[in-house]
Structure 1
Amino acid sequence: MNPAESLPVRGAGEAAGAGPRNEVAAAAQVSVAPMMDWTDRHCRFFLRLYSPYTRLYTEMLHANAILRGDGARLLRYSPEEQPLAIQLGGSDPALLAQAARRAEDAGYVEVNLNCGCPSDRVRAGTFGACLMLRPALVAECVAAMKRAVRVPVTVKFRIGVVDREAAGGAAAALALGQRFDGEDEAALQGFARALVDAGADALIVHARKAVLGGLSPHENRTVPPLRPDVVAALRRMLARGLSAPVPVVLNGGLRTAAQVLAALPEFDGVMIGREAYHRPELLSELHVALHPDAPAPLEPAEILAAMREYARRETAAGTPLNAITRHMLGMQSGRRGARALRHVLSQEVLRAGVDEVFDRACDILDRAA
């Protein structure tokens, strides 16, 4: 028997901690992308202080690691991080279904499947962006997870993928990565249709192609041109004839509040990547713009106070202080005192305790005011 099929199908109210998660939207208006080595639980606690509504995502976690490794450690988070989604990596429908069930039981409000990471390591494991070349398998994975959980199941992918070997070499692959023609459009629409037919609750689309084996992960975020118009066209295509079309979220190249606000009328949500990490105040700017009647975002001094208490708790449990403060280096980016603050949080933290570090950081803020 297929292990995924042996999992009982869950209905409303059956998941552990059932309640508010019944009302969770499949797509958030604003979210922060899953980013390897960055969006760990310490980073997410910090980013949450800038906006109570932004949906946060874990780093990509492989289904095998959750099921056969230290799943409790990998799934651990602070309640303050909610609303929180998990991104899974893998290509085995049964294992993904089991990992999704574990994530739902842990309290995650969304399960996202990674079909967009272009790294060679991920490709070697047959997951990430290379899965776009196997739409039937991805659809099977989505269907298996949908049978296993009742929280939204979503997929993050690119507008297309180019394999260097299939293209005939690096130069040819790069040329194909630069263009988007009718063949690309048909492949993208077919892939998205398969996901929707399998039950995907939302599609998160990075508006660039991925070049496998021809570009580094960094180059895959910068060299292929951004094509938000392609994502908008995909959304329109999927909406035809439907009273409740699947939400489509735009990802890629969004760096300012103005860009986000300009994109929102055309999409069901936006996902921000590295800009949220390097300049977390962007989340506060969007909070003010999108929720004018909500309480104002925390002030920098209040954020430092919250992080001090968090650091006290975590270091008492054995977490190195710099594992927490390394995610805070974008605080006050572009403002007076930012450089001194980065020095304290990245260098002085190596030889000082929690209170000394945060006292010094607060002093820098006071002098910069």
Structure 2
Amino acid sequence: MSKPVAQNARLSVAPMMDWTDRHCRYLHRLLSRETLLYTEMVTAPALVRGRAMHLLSHSPEEHPVALQLGGSDPAELAEAAQMGEAAGYDEINLNVGCPSDRVQSGCFGAVLMERPGLVADCVRAMHDAVRIDVTVKCRIGVDDQDPEKVLPEFLRRMVDAGCERVAIHARKAWLQGLSPKENRDIPPLDYPLVMRMKEQFRDLHVSVNGGITSLAQAKSFLDAGLDGVMIGRAAYYDPAGVLCTADREIFGTGQDSLPENAVRAMIPYIDAHLADGGRLHQVTRHMLGLFSGRPGARMWRRTLSEQAHRPGAGSDLLEEALGFVTPLAEDRHAV
């Protein structure tokens, strides 16, 4: 595939509710110029019926960035996809993986694994409505489904509907009896099944998601023949560890980045956010893990956690917190 955004999908940061908002994505983009970023899930009804256009807000610097939609009405999703394209997003992704009760009640997310024909109708409607890529993020199955039978048929329908890229969370989702948090940990991962899907659907861009914690692990999947790797919680809790060397190690472009530089580059962004009436903690909550494993990381986290919520807190707090972090050169020579 020659589309630039497909190349960026060699590594992506997963869409995560309450986490991958525009402030998080701006930070992640400072750490990696190449990695594909995803929004939190935005429901099609919120855009089409609620006209909640603020949910599409993002910074030009975030590109390449994809909009994840939730929904199950083909016409509504097509209209929402057009709204996302008009807002400037590089890709529209359909959520067929979220197991929460709220999502199930709206008949979207992982429950749609039980209705592949409807998902195909949704994908086809979106594909026909926009010029940018329409992709799907799914599970390997739900509840008592047999993934060996369900997943190939699901992917065949997606391909027939015009989908060229999928991200497969390599766990089943249990819609009854497990919480969304438990659904991230308890069902066993089945990476070999995802590998077999790539072998079976050679023209389909397949990314693996679920339980991946490092770039070394990501590279092993790419070396084994997968087209992409999507990392979720590890990219959020240790963004520097996942993203600072990604451009060189995964994409073979650019130089490594430093979290210190990202902090200083965030200051004008934060100042603009505060000038618009925002609060400091809305941004800094995404920055707590920047120095994970570094001397001074605990004081960095503590300073931001305890003080960013205070009325009048400003970007000068970042410089104060940064003063507790041992510079990298000193860190390398530390015993």
Q: TM bucket by the smaller chain?
A: over 0.9
Contact residue 84 and residue 110 of structure 1 kept, 8 A: yes
Cα drift, residue 307 of structure 1 = 1.1
Match of 1:335 among 290, 294, 299: 294
Aligned: 1:346 with 2:305: yes
Partner AA of 1:49 in structure 2? L
Partner AA of 1:75 in structure 2? L
Residues 235-285 of structure 1: per-residue CA shift (max 9 Å, x gap): 11112xxxxx01111101110121111011220000001000000011113
Contact residue 247 and residue 255 of structure 2 kept, 8 A: no
Contact residue 8 and residue 64 of structure 2 kept, 8 A: no
Contact residue 27 and residue 249 of structure 1 kept, 8 A: no
State the identity %. 49
> When the two structures are aligned, how many residues end up with a matched partner?
325
Structure 2 residues not aligned, in runs of 5+: 331-335
Contact residue 44 and residue 77 of structure 2 kept, 8 A: yes
Match of 1:246 among 173, 193, 204: 204
Structure ranking higher in helix proportion: 1
Cα gap change, 1:292 to 1:238, in 2 (>3 Å): closer
Q: In the aligned structure 2, how far is the partner of 1:26 from the partner of 1:92?
A: 30
Correspondences of 1:1-369 after superposition (within 5 Å): 23-25=4-6, 28-162=9-143, 176=144, 183-239=146-202, 245-265=203-223, 266-281=225-240, 282-297=242-257, 299-351=258-310, 353-365=313-325, 369=330
Q: In the aligned structure 2, how far is the partner of 1:320 from the partner of 1:196?
A: 44
Q: Secondary structure at the match of 2:172?
A: strand
Cα drift, residue 356 of structure 1 = 2.9
Residues 119-170 of structure 1: per-residue CA shift (max 9 Å, x gap): 11110110000001001100000000011001010000001111xxxxxxxx
Q: Greater CA deviation, 64-73 or 111-120?
A: 64-73
Structure 1 residues not aligned, in runs of 5+: 1-20, 163-175, 178-182, 240-244
Q: In the aligned structure 2, how far is the partner of 1:347 from the partner of 1:129?
A: 37
Q: Secondary structure at the match of 2:32?
A: coil
Partner AA of 1:202 in structure 2? R
Q: In the aligned structure 1, how far is the partner of 2:249 from the partner of 2:49?
A: 44
- Structure label with greater radius of gyration: 1
Q: In the aligned structure 2, how far is the partner of 1:22 from the partner of 1:232?
A: 23
Cα gap change, 1:138 to 1:364, in 2 (>3 Å): same
Cα drift, residue 362 of structure 1 = 2.6
Cα drift, residue 291 of structure 1 = 4.2
Cα drift, residue 26 of structure 1 = 7.3
Partner AA of 2:209 in structure 1? N
Residues 206-261 of structure 1: per-residue CA shift (max 9 Å, x gap): 0000000221111111111111100111111112xxxxx01111101110121111
Residues 28-77 of structure 1: per-residue CA shift (max 9 Å, x gap): 10000000000000010011111000000000000011123343210000
Q: In the aligned structure 1, how far is the partner of 2:304 from the partner of 2:10?
A: 31
TM norm structure 1 = 0.84
The RMSD of aligned alpha carbons is 1.7
